[in-house]
């Protein structure tokens, strides 16, 4: 195990909280081995007796629209809903912009975690990501009824061929409130981001992780120790915000993904999302 993984796990256990079932089950998810391999999907499939279904036609991050239903009359733009339900039908362009004062942070992130684990693999050079993305959707399904258990979304740079993001996309519920959840398996645990939704009057979508305490939206570390006990740590300094709006003139979805720490935005990712032409 790498030293940085050991330190992260000690920090999570010593400063976090012990997770108890069933009240903390919303935070649980797939975990990695002590020596994490890039293709963690095979490990999950083997352990849970699932089969892999990759890049099927009209394969999406979600398979119904329950998450976007609201009690008000505000409705999500159907083009944005279609993207989430049929993600494999879309092409992606991306532009990255680092806050110059956080260049050292980006290089440190690459050195300690991203290059080795192929997780949270944010670009350290903006020019490396001003390109198109190669996107693939992988479904892990039950062999008995073909129901999807986990959805994995991989994205790599068409320019560098490097994997940029690889996450497990799912949902969780805390006290009757639904959250969009992304899980990144790590050695003996995982990192998870919980996002809450806001649908604007024009149908645009905002996903944000601006919680202030454990049990709210935000960034979490989870650790499984040698006694199979789970620990969770809420990282209140880390926040994300994703704005999606359909551009009728260009017939595309424009998305802005912002990452911040201590209230300061350190990375902006601008996406153009266009439906593939048959």
More confident residue, 141 or 118: 141
With a threshold of 0.85, does the pTM exceed it?
yes
pLDDT digit string, tens, across residues 97-127: 888 877 776 666 665 555 555 555 665 666 6
HEC string for the chain = CCHHHHHHHHHHHHHCEECCCCCCHHHCCCCECCCCCCCHHHHHHHHHCEEEEECCCCCCCCCCCHHHCCCCCCCCCHHHHHHHHCHHHEEEEEEEEECHHHHHHHHHHHHHHHHHHCCCCCCCCHHHHCEEEEEEEEEEEECCCCCEEEEEEEEEECCCCCEEEEEEEEEEEECCEEEEEEEEEEECEEEEEEEEEEECCCCCEEEECCCCCCCCCEEEEEEECCCCCEEEEEECCEEEEEEEEEECCCCEEEEEEEEEECCEEEEEEEEEEEECCC
Provide the pLDDT confidence category of residue 232 given band limits of 50, 70 and 90. very high
Extract the tokens encoding 174: 């805390």
Total number of domains constituting the chain: 1
Residue 23 has a pLDDT of: 92
Domain range enclosing 30? 3-275
Using a pLDDT cut of 90, give the percent of the chain over it: 56
Stated length of the chain? 278
């Amino acid at each position: 195990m790498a030293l940085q993984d050991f330190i992260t796990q000690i920090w999570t256990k010593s400063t976090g909280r012990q997770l108890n079932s069933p009240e903390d089950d919303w935070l649980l998810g797939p975990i990695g081995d002590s020596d994490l391999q890039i293709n963690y999907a095979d490990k999950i499939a083997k352990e849970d007796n699932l089969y892999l279904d990759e890049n099927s036609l009209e394969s999406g991050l979600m398979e119904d629209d329950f998450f976007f239903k609201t009690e008000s009359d505000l409705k999500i733009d159907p083009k944005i809903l279609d993207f989430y339900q049929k993600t494999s039908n879309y092409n992606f362009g991306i532009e990255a912009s680092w806050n110059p004062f956080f260049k050292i942070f980006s290089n440190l992130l690459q050195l300690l975690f991203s290059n080795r684990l192929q997780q949270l693999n944010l670009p350290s050079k903006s020019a490396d990501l001003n390109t198109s993305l190669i996107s693939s959707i992988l479904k892990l399904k039950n062999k008995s009824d073909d129901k999807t258990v986990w959805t994995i979304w991989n994205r790599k740079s068409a320019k560098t061929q490097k994997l940029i993001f690889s996450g497990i996309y799912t949902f969780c519920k805390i006290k009757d409130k639904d959250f969009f959840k992304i899980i990144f398996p790590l050695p003996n645990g995982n990192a998870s981001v919980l996002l809450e939704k806001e649908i604007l009057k024009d149908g645009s979508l905002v996903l944000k992780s601006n919680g202030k305490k454990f049990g709210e939206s935000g960034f979490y570390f989870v650790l499984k120790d040698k006694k199979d006990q789970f620990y969770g740590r809420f990282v209140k300094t880390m926040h994300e915000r994703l704005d999606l709006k359909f551009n009728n003139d260009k017939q595309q979805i424009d998305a802005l993904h912002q990452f911040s720490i201590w209230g300061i935005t350190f990375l902006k990712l601008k996406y153009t999302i266009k439906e593939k032409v048959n």
